[in-house]
Homo-oligomer: A and B are copies of this chain.
């Protein structure tokens, strides 16, 4: 199986990029929402999750757009969920070619030789993307938004370090680091997809 993992700064457009790359390459796309949901279900009913895994996660509803708050169950038993997520990510990744968004998948899936991408941008650019993405009524001040961006990234960094001892966002951990400052994600996606295709040794169709 060919695996692309994507780590990204909040507001860098990494999630949109990941979805587009998956679509361009015909890969499955997994992100936190899907895997969390499966992990939760798994705790409740193993057979059901197996069914989801077997059918492929593409049939599972995907939350499009901005991130949502952590559901209560994640706060209740983070470790259980993490363990379940790791198992599920590994199972999914062995099932079909896929793009896995976040979740330290580059660490979990290391032995499967994934192509690891990091997506980043400067703060004005991230601020702009967050503004465009947020609904009118939820708009924060610049200051609050920058605080949120930094908090989300700090949490990602911490979670990765706890899991792996490796530093999040350090270029040595990734095969390609893409700066999306001033770049349109839709026009960028084919070029990143092309690079991933090259790296993974996929022949052009």
Most B C-beta atoms less than 10 A away, residue of A178, A179, A183 = A179
Give CA–CA (A199, B188) in the complex, Å.
8
Interface of A, secondary structure class, is mixed
**Stretch from A43-51, A79-87, A190-198 at the B interface:** A190-198
| Cβ contacts A181-205/B at 8 Å (1 or 0 each) | 1010001100100110011000000
| Complex: A55 Cα to B149 Cα, angstroms | 50
Given contacts A122-B172, A174-B179, 14 further A-B contacts (CB under 8 A): A118-B171, A171-B171, A171-B179, A174-B177, A175-B181, A176-B176, A176-B178, A176-B179, A183-B199, A188-B198, A191-B194, A191-B198, A194-B194, A195-B195
Cβ contacts A113-125/B at 8 Å (1 or 0 each): 0000010101000
This chain's copy number in the assembly: 2
> Could you tell me the distance between the alpha carbons of A179 and B172 in the complex, rounded to whole angstroms?
8
Question: Residues on A close to B: CB < 8 A?
Answer: 118, 120, 122, 169, 171-172, 174-179, 181, 183, 187-188, 191, 194-195, 198-199
Q: In the complex, what residues of B have CB within 8 A of residue A176's CB?
A: 176-179
Q: 3 closest Cβ contacts across the A-B interface?
A: A177-B177, A175-B179, A171-B177
Question: Chain B: which residue is nearest A197 at the CB level?
Answer: B191
A171 to chain B: which residues have CB within 8 Å? Answer: 118, 120, 169, 171, 177, 179
In the complex, the answer to whether A187 meets B183 with C-beta atoms within 8 Å is no
Give A77 to B122 CA distance when docked, in angstroms.
37
State which of B169, B172, B188, B198 has its C-beta within 8 Å of the C-beta of A120.
Answer: B172
A183 to B198, CA, bound (A): 10
